[in-house]
Amino acid sequence: MVPVTFASTNQNKFLEVQSILSTFDITVQFAQVSLVEVQSDSLEDIAKEKARSAFSELQRPVMVEDDGLFIDSLNGFPGPYSSFVFSTIGNKGILKLLSGTGQRSALFRSLIAYCDRENASISEGIVKGSISEEITEGGWGYDPIFRPSGTELTFAQLKDKKNEYSHRRRALEKFAHWISSRNG
């Protein structure tokens, strides 16, 4: 199987992607590429455009990942704007927005977008959960405040067990089956 290049500026995402796809005997290379992220209310549109842009720049089979944290009591906010919201108000800001509310349910969506000369594909993974009352130690991004259903721990507290619950793992499993069936 031809190695797939993961295009991103986020080394943490690459390490997760590499770890998960290695269990499917899929080799992933890293290309640290700053991709233009279109502003859209659609996570799918953002992921597709990032994949097309990455393929155009690298000229080889490429995959990108885009994800969003969707908080029910905030009408799905920050959703496709999760990266911007994290860089501006961070986890403290999210907890402040939720202060005084008992409704803390949320979900994480991950989209793996793949592009080569002939094909494009999107694989989705979703994990339901809730937002914790406080920021826990470790992890990155929203890991210190997101608790997946089935555990009282945040992604950050789960550490090496995070991939057992991860939205990214679910999307990558679908991607692995799709690409294996194409190459099989």
Query: Which tens digits make up the pLDDT trace of 136-181?
Result: 999 889 999 999 999 999 999 999 899 889 999 999 999 999 998 8
In sequence order, the 6+-apart residues with CB closer than 8 A to the CB of 17 are 6, 28, 63, 65, 168, 172
Sorting pLDDT into bands at 50, 70 and 90, what band is 91? very high
Which has the higher per-residue pLDDT, 39 or 106? 106
In sequence order, the 6+-apart residues with CB closer than 8 A to the CB of 81 are 68
- Candidates 85, 91, 105, 111; CA nearest to 167 is 111
What is the dihedral sign for C-alpha 176, 177, 178, 182? Answer: positive
Active-site residue among 41, 45, 66, 67? Answer: 66
4-183: CATH number: 3.90.950.10
Q: Helix-strand-coil percent breakdown of the chain, rounded to 5?
A: 40, 25, 35
Sorting pLDDT into bands at 50, 70 and 90, what band is 120? confident
* Catalytic residue flag (residue 66): yes
Average pLDDT over residues 12-32: 92
44, HSE (Cβ side, Cα atoms, 13 Å): 5
Reply yes or no on whether the pLDDT at 2 is more than 80.
no
What's residue 1's pLDDT?
A: 63
Sorting pLDDT into bands at 50, 70 and 90, what band is 184? low
Q: Residue 114 CB: number of other CB atoms within 10 A?
A: 22
Q: Is 151 exposed, middle or buried (0-12, 13-18, 19+ CB in 10 A)?
A: middle
